[in-house]
Amino acid sequence: MDDDGNLQDEIRLPNDRLSELAEQYAGGEAAIEASGHYRPVYEMLNEHLDVTLVNSSKNRVIADATVKTDRIDAKRLAHMLRADMLAESYVPSDEIPQGADLVRTRKSLVEERTAEKNRVRAVLKRTDNAYDSELFGPTGREFLAELSLNDADRTIVEAHLSVIDEYDKQIERLEKKIEEKALESPAAQRLLSIPGVGQSTYL
């Protein structure tokens, strides 16, 4: 689209050809919506273009449109970019998505480890074995080792405990990497000085 809003070209192409488009219009401007998977598209275009990442929920013309297609939305974005009317989304530096991925993975593993612990508790409940809340600490492990269980239940409990041990190792590994990322980032160090903000919450 030119400065007067006249459509100069309209192209539909797959993501793997976006770099060709960016090179063709190098030095120009582009706008893309902040979808859940915007990052690769943003990085490809941003090598050659001045890219605006758009927060569609804050751009009422787009968010409230009764007719929404890729083609129509693209034209709206182009018109609003030309008129400097777009509400931008924050684009974090490369290190922040990497840190966030580490934190998300840690959270996922903690949840899966909790599921394994609940499976051990289910065996004990089914076999009418009382236990305290510290079932998976050193004292709890001694209790589980000495517990009278039939062969099948013993095998099941030990299988879950083995998986829990592996989760423990991987979670500890992730936590060390998260700590390294935090120590490398001056911004993270400032945030960590706030009470209640930890290494797994600043990202």
Question: Using one digit for the tens of pLDDT, what is the confidence trace for 101-157?
Answer: 888 899 999 999 999 999 999 999 998 888 777 899 999 999 999 999 999 999 999
The number of CA neighbours under 13 Å toward the Cβ of 117 is 18
51 exposure class (CB count in 10 Å sphere: 0-12, 13-18, 19+): buried
The answer to whether the beta carbons of residues 110 and 127 sit under 8 Å apart is no
- What pLDDT digit, counting tens, does each position of 135-148 carry? 999 999 999 999 99
pTM score = 0.55
Q: What is the pLDDT of residues 19-62, one digit of tens each?
A: 999 999 999 999 998 877 788 888 899 999 999 999 877 776 66
Can you tell me the distance from the alpha carbon of 114 to that of 111, in angstroms, rounded to the nearest whole number? 5
> Pick the residue with more confidence: 28 or 191?
28
Q: Does residue 187 register a pLDDT over 80?
A: no
Angle between helices 95-126 and 151-184 (to 10 degrees): 160
Concatenated DSSP letters for 42-107? HHHHHTTSEEEEE-GGG-HHHHT-SS--HHHHHHHHHHHHHTT-PPBPP---THHHHHHHHHHHHH
- What percentage of the chain exceeds 70 in pLDDT? 87
Distance CA 103, CA 196 (A): 16
